[in-house]
Structures are given as C-alpha cells and as structure tokens.
Amino acid sequence: MTDLIFYAALKRLTAGPSPLLMTEQMLEVTGSGRAVLAGDADSIGLNGIDRRLGGFIFMGANRPGAGIKTISG
C-alpha cells in the first residue's frame, strides 16, 4: 500500500457525520468506530458512500451489489 492510498483510506475513516477514527496527535478509534468493530453498526449506514471504484459509482447508502441481480455490458 502506497502512502497516497493509505492517506486516502485514512481520510475516509476520519470524515463524515460519524467518523470512525480521530486524528489529534495520534489515531484514536471513536465510539462509532468501536460500534463498527463490534458489529453493532455499519460504516456505510453511518456515513453513506460516495466513491468510484472500477467504473462503478457508489452513492448514498447503497452497497456494492445491493439489489442487483445481474450486470450486463
């Protein structure tokens, strides 16, 4: 994992209405982060998603593959 990819992943975890990590001087897991780790909450459910990945655009609370039966080209 390059620094740029790591930074992008870290930025997503520290952003949104319910960030999963805080970055003061060190990384700290937030209450929302602990709930996600325990399986009591869902990251996309808390913060939504707005990301392009492999030609697909994921937005809102949509999950990759949710409600899709087939993908045709």
What is the DSSP secondary-structure string of 9-70?
A: HHHHHT-SSS-SEEESSSEEE-HHHHHHHHTSS-HHHHH-EEEEETTEEEEET--TTTT---
pLDDT of 10 above 80: yes
> How does residue 66 score in pLDDT terms, banded at 50, 70 and 90?
low
pTM: 0.59
pLDDT in tens, 13-63: 888 888 888 887 788 999 999 999 999 988 888 887 777 777 777 766 555
pLDDT of 9 above 60: yes
